[in-house]
Amino acid sequence: MDVMALGLPRIGKFVERHVLSIVEYCDHHPEEFEHLRDESYCKSTLGVRYPFFRSPDLIVGRYEGRYRSSPQVVVCGETVLFTNDWYARHYVGFVKYIADKQMIDQDTAAAYLDALSESVPRAGAAGEAGSRGRLAAPAIGNAQNLLVRNVLGRIRPDAHAHGGWESTWSYFGGRCAYCDEPLAAHDKDHVFGINSKSLGEHKRGNLVPACKDCNSEKGDEDFRDFLDAKFMADPATAEDRKAAIFRFMLERDYLPFALDPQVDPAAITALLDQARTRVQEVATEYVAQIRSLVTS
Binding positions for Zn ion, rule: CB under 5 A: 176, 178-179, 211, 214
Which 3 state secondary structure label does DSSP give 75?
Answer: strand
- Residue 207 or 211 having the CB closest to Zn ion: 211
- Residue 87 or 178 having the CB closest to Zn ion: 178
Q: How far is the CB of 293 from Zn ion (least distance, A)?
A: 51
Q: How far is the CB of 230 from Zn ion (least distance, A)?
A: 9
Q: How far is the CB of 134 from Zn ion (least distance, A)?
A: 22
Contact 36, 23 (CB under 8 A): no
- Residue 181 or 285 having the CB closest to Zn ion: 181
- Residue 176 or 249 having the CB closest to Zn ion: 176
**Where are any strands of DSSP class E within the chain?**
53-54, 73-75, 78-82, 188-190, 207-209
Which 3 state secondary structure label does DSSP give 55?
Answer: coil
Handedness of CA 134, 61, 224, 159 (dihedral sign): positive
Give CA separation, 19 vs 14, 98, 239, in Å. 9, 10, 34
Q: How far is the CB of 187 from Zn ion (least distance, A)?
A: 9
| φ, ψ (nearest 5 deg) of residue 118 | -80, -50
Q: How far is the CB of 182 from Zn ion (least distance, A)?
A: 10
- Residue 181 or 264 having the CB closest to Zn ion: 181
Handedness of CA 95, 99, 104, 109 (dihedral sign): positive
Q: How far is the CB of 88 from Zn ion (least distance, A)?
A: 16
Nearest residue to 103 via CA among 111, 94, 115: 94
- Residue 112 or 178 having the CB closest to Zn ion: 178
